[in-house]
Every structure is written in structure tokens, then in C-alpha cells.
Amino acid sequence: MTDREPVEARNLDIYGSPELAWETVRDALVGALPKMETASFLGTVRPDGRPHSAGIGALWHDGEIFFVSGPGTRKSRDLAANPACTLSVRTPGGDIVLEGTAGRVTDPAVLEQVAAAYRESGWPAQVDGDAFTAPYNAQSAGPPPWHLYRFVHRTVAMVSTVEPYGAGLWRFES
């Protein structure tokens, strides 16, 4: 897949900074995901409507965002019932919040490609059936095997903390 382009952009800056370019946001995500020092948090909705947030190791690969989670974790159970979620990422260029949906990936070719990308980033993921295994993972992922999820963003907001300063919102086709 290639990078998706926004269908709408809005300048949210209240101090007169020019509109941020989508490329600024995309480049920040590409540079930050996955890196151990990058803070990324997935927000899901529990069946009773309460929010849930957990740290994840998100990966930008071939224009898409992926993450893993064990099938018994709160986030995986939430996504099975309601795929709506958020992804919040602190990058060196600013804070980014993405809203969208996440769904499980079971296509063997995609699993192999994403596992290879995770290995290139330093996490030794291996495909095991329709999931991943590795010698270790974050505590929030639960025990192996880990399911792979694709996050599809519908809106993205960024507050830039470096030049060019500003704030923006981008909308994407569903």
C-alpha cells in the first residue's frame, strides 16, 4: 500500500503559524515508529463504554501502521467488540493523535512483510501460524502468540513543538 493522502486539512494554530504540511506529520511518524524511545499509546473502548489506554510498539510500514497484542489482553478484547480506537504518539517534532479503526491481520504475506520490518527495527518477531512470536515483548502485549493489527487512520491531529510550529488536523477517506 502507498501512503494515503488527506482529503481535507485544517490549520488549528491560534498564534498565526502557517498551515503544517501533511508531509511534516507523515515524516514524524515514519521517523518515530518504531523506536524504543517513542511513546505510543492505543486507546480503545471497553464494552461498557469506559476508555482504556495501553502502551504499544507501533510500526509504520509501507504507508500503514501496525501493532501487536495478545488475544487475551484488554485492548484485543476491546477491538474485537469495537474496532474504533486512537493512537497517540510523541515524536521529536510534536505530539500526534490519530483516530480510526484497527483490525486483525491474518494474511500470510502481510504477516511475513511486517515481521521482517519489525526485525529490521530490532524486535525479533517471527510468524507462527497467523500470529507472531519472539523471545520477548512489552508487558502490555500479554503472553505470546501476538496478533497483528492494522490501524487505519480517519483523522490525524498534530501539535508541533519545533519549527515549523503550528497545529493541524487532517481528514482521510474511510
Work out the average pLDDT over 55-79: 94
Helices (H), 48-99: 74-81
Indicate whether 36 pLDDT > 70: no
Indicate whether 57 pLDDT > 50: yes
Per-residue confidence at 37, pLDDT binned at 50, 70, 90? Answer: low
Work out the average pLDDT over 26-36: 86
How high is the mean pLDDT of the chain? 93
Work out the average pLDDT over 146-160: 97
| Residues 65, 114: Cα–Cα separation, whole Å | 10
Percent of the chain with pLDDT over 70: 98
Indicate whether 20 pLDDT > 50: yes
Q: Calculate the CA dihedral of residues 141, 144, 145, 146 and round it to 10 degrees.
A: 10
pLDDT of residue 1: 44
Kindly report whether the peptide bond that precedes residue 124 is cis, defined as omega within 30 degrees of 0.
no
Which cell numbers hold the place of 172?
482521510
Query: Where would I find the beta strands (DSSP E) of the chain?
Result: 8-11, 39-45, 51-55, 59-61, 64-69, 84-91, 94-105, 126-128, 131-133, 147-160, 166-171
Q: What are phi and psi of 98, to 5 degrees?
A: -110, 135
pTM (2 d.p.): 0.94
Which cell numbers hold the place of 151?
490501524
Work out the average pLDDT over 81-101: 96
pLDDT of residue 174: 78
pLDDT of residue 38: 79
Indicate whether 88 pLDDT > 60: yes
Query: Which of 174, 136, 133, 172 has its CA nearest to residue 156?
Result: 172
| Residues 57, 80: Cα–Cα separation, whole Å | 19
pLDDT of residue 87: 97
Render pLDDT for 117-151 as a digit per residue (tens, 0 to 9). Answer: 999 989 999 999 999 999 998 888 889 999 999 99
Q: Which amino acid is at 95?
A: D
Domains of the chain in sequence order: 8-171 (2.30.110.10)
